[in-house]
Amino acid sequence: MTAVLGAVVLLAGCDSATPDTSGSRVTLGAALAASAPHPDCLAPPPITNPDLADFAAALQLPAEAYTFAVRFGASAHILHVDLCVPAAESIDDLRAPATSVAHALKKNSLGSQIDMLVVTDAGGVREKYKSYLVDRSFQTHSWDGTPAEEAMWEIYSLP
């Protein structure tokens, strides 16, 4: 129940851009909202922003990691990506999927406008830990596969 309430709180800041009503595009969130991708994951909410939906649809995560929500933060320069990683028991288990997100974002046109990337494991049915990863200087980090890239993540914890 705590994880569900936490997910609801996290989703309160979801992007509210006007959805594509032309019928030419089905968002990832709309396509997956009927069911969760894994029994330990919540059903993802619709992603209404077309750019965010395209990014989420193209995102390739490691096995057993699933996209839950992709949304802008307080501004369009902050991107929140909420994942569901059922096997993750600590924040360190989130690093590989978060790094996959950073690599994909750097290669996507959306990446040029993002200054801060926040990655959580908030898409699970139970809360396993209260930490998340942040790259506060996304534009200055290359995310090109250099060995020190995992050091770019800062760990933040909720009380």
- Please compute the mean of the pLDDT values over residues 7-11 and round it to a whole number: 35
Q: pLDDT of 73-107, one tens digit each?
A: 999 999 999 999 999 999 999 999 999 999 999 99
86 or 27: whose pLDDT is higher? 86
- Please compute the mean of the pLDDT values over residues 48-69 and round it to a whole number: 95
76 or 148: whose pLDDT is higher? 76
Q: Are 155 and 31 in contact (CB under 8 A)?
A: no
Q: Are 106 and 100 in contact (CB under 8 A)?
A: no
Longest dimension (CA), the chain: 44
Categorize the per-residue pLDDT at 147 as very low, low, confident or very high, splitting at 50, 70 and 90. Answer: low
Give pTM, 2 decimals.
0.77
Domain of 136, in residue numbers: 2-157
Domains in the chain, number: 1
Q: Are 123 and 69 in contact (CB under 8 A)?
A: yes
149 or 157: whose pLDDT is higher? 157
DSSP 11-57: HTT---PPP--SSS---HHHHHTTS-SSTTBPPPPP--SHHHHHHHH
